[in-house]
């Protein structure tokens, strides 16, 4: 493969002519670069792409243009909620385009992705945010792969590495929750509060906040003290002036999230009172009421503003000497209480709507640490016998007995030597 010197606007370049049989328009096609090696490498890459049937012209556009095309397509054909699409748009516009949007799509390399992620962390973004931004880029580039614009995904390797890294949790990273005494104190503290029923239902069922806000009256079976999770609430992230609804209802997070849960009798009483309160609110609001059939609506019938509920929730915790938590941490509290009461992990997983029991154990496995001593004692009873096991458990440490015997012997020898 030969590279010819050419001059353009007083500058010297190297040009490599491409084989005519790779093109059907009968025209001469070539690539140019500043150095001979760059020109040859670029020509070889173009030839390889043409032989694989890739669209070279579309791949020569800047990453910014491709991402605009991706977002436009993904909004209607991506099979995701409006909230998720808006999250994608935010990361593309705020974290991807300003830093690497000018790179030509076909020239984007894994090293560019690595440097981009490093720069995001240097800007002060947390690891979870950086991982989400990287997953958005990986997803977009996967479409470029499927549309035959690229022959590999430059962000794919980094995604697999990050996924492997996330399986090992940092030491001491544990979920936050209320212990049994604190949970009882919290339920007593919210007595008479406007959101008492919501808080009580959260701590006794482990519903996610979006499941609580999306819960409808026809999802409740108060007679049998049971509810079914059929929809969730998603608040949209609108741009200024964008004609998009403030919220939307959608299906649960996963198929396992669509579940039926029993709740205690005292919660059923609170929910009955809540239903009566909502009826009064509807009558008072009159024509301004927006009917959504919710169990926990605002005074206008719309979903509650999450910030307002959270602000009230944290104020109650602070006033009663309880840890400052998120509303989501009541879900963790529910799981920890079930573990404390000895409920089987599989039943906990089903109640929380986890996709698998593995997720439950990965999240709450550290709360089962105290059961290891019980396991050892059960093995002692099985192989030694109940009476002997009891004697072994109460028997003094043999090493300490041996040390005391050795001390007595040494003292006796010293006394004899003195005589």
Phi first, then psi, for residue 128 (nearest 5°) are -65, -40
Q: How far apart are the C-alpha atoms of 363 and 36, rounded to whole Å?
A: 55
Identify the pLDDT of residue 246: 76
Give the residue-averaged pLDDT of 197-218: 96
Tens digit of pLDDT for each residue in 84-125?
Answer: 888 999 999 999 999 999 999 989 999 999 999 999 999 999
Give the residue-averaged pLDDT of 40-57: 71
Contact 209, 328 (CB under 8 A): yes
Tens digit of pLDDT for each residue in 397-419?
Answer: 544 445 555 555 555 554 555 55
Q: Edge-to-edge, what's the strand order for the sheet holding 11-17? A: 4-8, 11-17, 30-33
Q: Per-residue pLDDT for 46 more than 80? A: no
- Tell me the pLDDT of the chain averaged across its residues: 83
Local confidence band at 164 (pLDDT 50, 70, 90 cut-offs): very low
Identify the pLDDT of residue 241: 66
Local confidence band at 50 (pLDDT 50, 70, 90 cut-offs): low
First to last CA, the chain: 104
Give the residue-averaged pLDDT of 190-215: 95
Give the residue-averaged pLDDT of 320-343: 93
Contact 248, 83 (CB under 8 A): yes
Q: Per-residue pLDDT for 331 more than 80? A: yes
Give the residue-averaged pLDDT of 308-327: 95
Identify the pLDDT of residue 7: 86
Identify the pLDDT of residue 167: 42
Local confidence band at 169 (pLDDT 50, 70, 90 cut-offs): very low
Better pLDDT: 177 or 172: 177
Of the given ranges (44-58, 302-316, 350-364), which has the lowest mean pLDDT? Answer: 44-58
What is the percentage of the chain residues whose pLDDT exceeds 90? 50
């Amino acid at each position: 493969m030969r590279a010819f010197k050419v001059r353009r606007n007083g500058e010297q370049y190297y040009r490599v002519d491409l084989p005519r049989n790779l093109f059907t328009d009968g025209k001469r096609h070539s690539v140019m670069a500043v150095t001979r090696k760059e020109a040859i490498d670029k020509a070889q890459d173009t030839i390889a792409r043409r032989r694989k049937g890739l669209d070279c012209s579309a791949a020569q556009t800047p990453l910014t243009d491709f991402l605009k095309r991706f977002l436009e397509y993904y909004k209607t054909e991506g099979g995701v909620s409006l909230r998720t699409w808006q999250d994608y748009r935010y990361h593309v516009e705020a974290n991807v385009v300003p830093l690497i949007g000018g790179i030509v799509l076909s020239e984007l390399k894994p090293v560019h992705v690595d440097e981009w992620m490093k720069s995001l962390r240097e800007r002060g973004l947390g690891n979870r945010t950086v991982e989400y931004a990287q997953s958005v880029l990986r997803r977009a580039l996967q479409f470029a792969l499927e549309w035959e614009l690229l022959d590999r995904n430059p962000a794919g390797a980094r995604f697999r590495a990050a996924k492997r890294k996330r399986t090992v949790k940092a030491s001491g990273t544990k979920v936050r929750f209320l212990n049994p005494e604190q949970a009882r104190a919290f339920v007593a503290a919210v007595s008479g509060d406007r959101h008492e029923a919501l808080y009580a239902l959260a701590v006794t069922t482990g519903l996610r906040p979006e499941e609580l806000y999306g819960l409808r009256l026809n999802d409740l079976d108060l007679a049998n003290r049971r509810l079914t999770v059929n929809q969730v609430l998603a608040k949209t992230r609108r741009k200024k002036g964008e004609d998009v609804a403030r919220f939307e209802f959608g299906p649960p997070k996963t198929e396992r999230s669509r579940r039926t849960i029993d709740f205690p009798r005292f919660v059923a009483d609170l929910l009955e009172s809540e239903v009566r309160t909502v009826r009064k609110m509807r009558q008072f609001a009159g024509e301004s009421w927006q009917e959504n059939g919710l169990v926990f609506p605002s005074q206008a019938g719309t979903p509650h503003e999450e910030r307002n509920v959270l602000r009230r929730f944290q104020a109650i915790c602070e006033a009663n000497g309880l840890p400052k938590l998120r509303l989501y941490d009541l879900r963790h509290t529910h799981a920890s209480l079930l573990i404390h009461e000895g409920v089987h992990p599989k039943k906990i997983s089903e109640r929380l709507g986890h996709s698998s029991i593995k997720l439950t154990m990965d999240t709450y496995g550290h709360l089962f640490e105290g059961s290891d001593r019980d396991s050892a004692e059960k093995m002692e009873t099985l192989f030694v016998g109940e009476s002997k096991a009891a004697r072994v458990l109460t028997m003094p440490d043999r090493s300490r007995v041996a040390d005391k015997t050795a001390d007595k012997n040494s003292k006796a020898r010293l006394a004899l030597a003195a005589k």
